[in-house]
Structure 1
Amino acid sequence: MEGKHTQQQLHIVSWAYWLSTFCEGATRILIPLYFYSLGMKVTKIAFLFVCYELCGLLANMSSGFVLNRGGYKRTFLGALFLHTLASAGYLFVPWLGVGMMLLVWVGMLRAMRGVAKELLKTTSSAYIKHLQTNHLQSHWLLGGKDSAKGIGLLAGGVMLSLIGFVGAFGFLTIASLVALIMAGGRVGDVREQKTVSFQQFSHVETRMKLLAAARALLYAGRDMWLVLALPIYLSNMGISKVNVGAILAAGLITFGLIQPISGWWVKQRWTLGAYTIKDPWLYERVLFVSCVALAGVPIMMLFYGQSLLAAIILIVLYNVISGLATAPHNDLQMRFAQSNRASIDIAFYKTISQLGKIGAVFLSGLLYQHWGLEGCLWVSFFSLLLSGILGIWVAVLSKRTPQAQRFLKKYVYSPQKTR
């Protein structure tokens, strides 16, 4: 796939993926606010998110092998179909009461959506690995999906207020179906040359393992307070559902816009006459600094989060810095993945990083129940610091690679640098 056809494939994959993440963003605001309004305990709502993340983890563990054996197109379309079924399943929720049947049914739907989401994410990343023509395209795909999710958060709050829970999921079912139809007749297929087995999970490069662990802690630092605790905290402050969705959407849309800009900015070289103001940076060098800066936001939230204006500013600030912290991961996961087994390496990365989400969502429910938002913020702070420390390790190992040595020789030790 080359030239114009390659770009068409990238656009199809990106738009279908973004539509699915729009639906997921709306769901992330609809579920906690709707079920909390029914009187469901925070720990039970957290259980629904754990079902989602746990099944996403299981999907990640097998997604690389499904892609490798079945091809990219079949996996991508199957995931979109599963996503559509999950959206349609929520239409029956109001007729299930508020007992155990409701919890089991929604838990099953969350599990189904978790599988679909992770299959879509892994397939889209693998497509980009084979189709991208420059390093910024991975940032646009992954940054765009976060902006789409942010718009979904806003739309979810608006729909819940205007057309209710059933009306909102009716709309999301149609949107998922549109994504499936759009991709069905146009997305191309990719098949890897090398057939792999489950044993290949143990042969992942050390840098990829460390990068995955750093991403898991980065996810944990975010989901510990932004996914479940913050919407309920804002709702308890008397903020309407629409405004809660708008606040979270503003942060996530900012995050999605910052990611591709960060990828471009990190690689820029700025000069003023004969003087170099900024050299291109290695992505590995950004990992530690960005995580340390990010860890400062939960601490500031502890002291100033009681003010709504300060909370909004800090939420947006967190997402700005998070965009910078995430940008290196978007590029490095593609670079560290080996071309003849890209689906396996990317699936491993996403499986390990998913563990951070599962642990964070589960703990956030318990922490919020007993210690409120403050407990979630403290654990977030330490998770982000640990992620930065692992980033240093990745940078040290990467300096030994031929690619890093060529970069250092060209830019860091260049004649212009020594003037």
Structure 2
Amino acid sequence: MMDRALQQYLVVTASYWAFTITDGALRMLVVLFFHNLGYSPLEVATLFLLYEFFGIVTNLFGGWLAARVGLNVTMQVGLFLQIVSLTMLLVDQSMLTVLYVMVAQALSGIAKDLNKMSAKSSIKLLVPGDAQGQLYRWVAILTGSKNTLKGAGFFLGALLLAWLGFQGAVALMAIVLVMVLTLSGLLLDKNLGKTLYKPKFTEIFSKSAAVNRLSAARLFLFGSRDVWFVVALPVYLQSQLHWHHMQVGMMMAAWIMGYGFVQTIAPKITGVERGNVPDGKTAFEWSIALCLLPLVIAGGLYFNIAADYVLIGGLLIFGAVFAVNSSVHSFLIVSYAKEEGVSLDVGFYYMANAAGRLLGTLLSGVVFQWYGLEACLVVSTVFIFITSIISIKLPR
């Protein structure tokens, strides 16, 4: 008979997978659909501001809520809210104003971070405290497979837009998530994450120096990616390189899928099989390795040195190194988090992650519209440098 911890891990992972592929598809659908309607890069970025802002709020309060009612409840609520968000987009195209889509995206942001916080926190409870190597592997598999499927979602979003149109694509995803919600409700342990410990509302902010420093590093790390990846890159590929939206979707999908694959094998890359469990020194070294890559890409674009090859080649290398950074961070937060009320520390950390994404998303539209992709890449370099400085103080 399958070990119960493994069985629950598989249910959590499968639910997270289904959510993630629709989330990636919806992101690509919205970017391409509204850009094709004539929205500027800044207006497209604006559509996601509430998505990222409510990610911050959700992680902060969701961690506290999960500690009180259980991770099962918060995961199911996340799936339900994503269905509501998708349903909101089924209205007539004339009603899809910026404000209306922002509200729908706000619900999607709440849903995404409830789902992610619940999935990541549950792993801590399913792995023995002395099995740090296994914990690293399970976190890497969950995180890496999630991003691989998010990449598949990018491709799926572009494909469904061409095949079914915006409303048809959204309707299909909503139907699939209704099925996933039903199965998850039947199979997931009703007591997952429930503890006798009921944290007070005032305990939502972390009191751990290690968690606070890692959270600050995470904010700038993810800001460094999204400042050029979220809006600037897909719009640049369409407007400057004249790529079709299917080509953009396929390239973004391939990048995210490769990024997710590297995250999955990150334990091998960092030497966990030789007994090397990541610590603060690992996080610092990998952030230094990442630091100059965006600047090199910006230089190639500015001086027009085989710009197409520099951009795509640099993007692939950046993705691989960034993936290891992300995987190391994802392990460290689960390792640093205290077992009683694990969702509090994990929620606080992913609040910082969402803040970095919000900052990166906003700057991606503003900086690209005013100064171009090269400037976005320079901002990315500055953010990674700040991440490296913060990482020096992480526990070793």
| TM score, norm. by length of structure 1 | 0.88
Structure 2 counterpart of 1:230:
233
In structure 1, C-alpha distance between the alignment counterparts of 2:391 and 2:283, rounded to whole Å: 5
Deviation string for 1:38-66 (max 9, x for gaps)? 11122221111111000111111110121
Tell me by how many angstroms 1:197 deviates: 1.3
Are the structure 2 counterparts of residues 3 and 284 from structure 1 closer, same or farther at C-alpha, using a change threshold of 3 Å?
Answer: farther
Tell me by how many angstroms 1:85 deviates: 1.3
Tell me by how many angstroms 1:187 deviates: 0.5
CA contact (8 A) 2:206 2:348 kept: no
Structure 2 counterpart of 1:385:
385
**Structure 2 regions of 5+ residues with no counterpart?**
129-133
In structure 1, C-alpha distance between the alignment counterparts of 2:255 and 2:147, rounded to whole Å: 10
CA contact (8 A) 1:158 1:241 kept: no
In structure 1, C-alpha distance between the alignment counterparts of 2:271 and 2:195, rounded to whole Å: 30
Alignment root-mean-square deviation, CA: 1.7
Deviation string for 1:260-319 (max 9, x for gaps)? 21123323466xxxxxxxx72633222122212222221122133463333222222111
CA contact (8 A) 1:266 1:283 kept: no
Structure 1 counterpart of 2:70:
71
Structure 1 counterpart of 2:131:
none
Structure 2 counterpart of 1:309:
309
Deviation string for 1:166-219 (max 9, x for gaps)? 122122212222321221100113202211012223452100000011011000
1:312-351 equivalences under 5 Å are: 312-351=312-351
Tell me by how many angstroms 1:68 deviates: 1.4
Structure 1 counterpart of 2:259:
255
Amino acid at match of 1:17: Y
Are the structure 2 counterparts of residues 333 and 3 from structure 1 closer, same or farther at C-alpha, using a change threshold of 3 Å?
Answer: farther
Are the structure 2 counterparts of residues 382 and 39 from structure 1 closer, same or farther at C-alpha, using a change threshold of 3 Å?
Answer: same
| Matched positions, count | 383
Tell me by how many angstroms 1:93 deviates: 4.9
1:289-304 equivalences under 5 Å are: 289-304=285-300
Structure 1 counterpart of 2:279:
283
Amino acid at match of 2:280: E
CA contact (8 A) 2:21 2:150 kept: yes
Structure 1 counterpart of 2:183:
182
CA contact (8 A) 2:299 2:374 kept: no
| TM score, norm. by length of structure 2 | 0.92
Amino acid at match of 1:365: G
**Structure 1 regions of 5+ residues with no counterpart?**
271-278, 400-419
In structure 2, C-alpha distance between the alignment counterparts of 1:324 and 1:207, rounded to whole Å: 20
CA contact (8 A) 1:160 1:241 kept: no
Residue among 214, 218, 221 paired with 1:215? 218
Structure 1 counterpart of 2:14:
15
Paired residue secondary structure (2:310): helix
Amino acid at match of 2:110: V
CA contact (8 A) 1:284 1:328 kept: no
Structure 1 counterpart of 2:355:
355
Of all paired residues, the percent bearing the same amino acid is 27
Amino acid at match of 2:248: V
Amino acid at match of 1:389: I
Residue among 249, 264, 267 paired with 2:268? 264
Paired residue secondary structure (1:107): helix
- Name which of structure 1's ranges 75-84 and 305-314 shifts more when overlaid on structure 2: 305-314
CA contact (8 A) 1:64 1:343 kept: yes
In structure 2, C-alpha distance between the alignment counterparts of 1:94 and 1:202, rounded to whole Å: 41
In structure 2, C-alpha distance between the alignment counterparts of 1:248 and 1:76, rounded to whole Å: 27
CA contact (8 A) 1:43 1:369 kept: yes
Are the structure 2 counterparts of residues 153 and 382 from structure 1 closer, same or farther at C-alpha, using a change threshold of 3 Å?
Answer: same
Structure 1 counterpart of 2:39:
40
In structure 1, C-alpha distance between the alignment counterparts of 2:76 and 2:205, rounded to whole Å: 29
Higher RCO (CA < 8 A, seq sep 6+) = 2
Are the structure 2 counterparts of residues 298 and 265 from structure 1 closer, same or farther at C-alpha, using a change threshold of 3 Å?
Answer: closer
Amino acid at match of 2:257: I
In structure 1, C-alpha distance between the alignment counterparts of 2:163 and 2:106, rounded to whole Å: 27
Structure 1 counterpart of 2:247:
243
Paired residue secondary structure (1:82): helix
Deviation string for 1:102-144 (max 9, x for gaps)? 1121111000000000100111111111013522101111111
Amino acid at match of 2:203: Q
In structure 1, C-alpha distance between the alignment counterparts of 2:355 and 2:203, rounded to whole Å: 19
- Name which of structure 1's ranges 261-270 and 364-373 shifts more when overlaid on structure 2: 261-270
Structure 1 counterpart of 2:105:
110
Deviation string for 1:133-166 (max 9, x for gaps)? 5221011111111011000011111222222211
Amino acid at match of 2:5: T
In structure 2, C-alpha distance between the alignment counterparts of 1:18 and 1:209, rounded to whole Å: 28
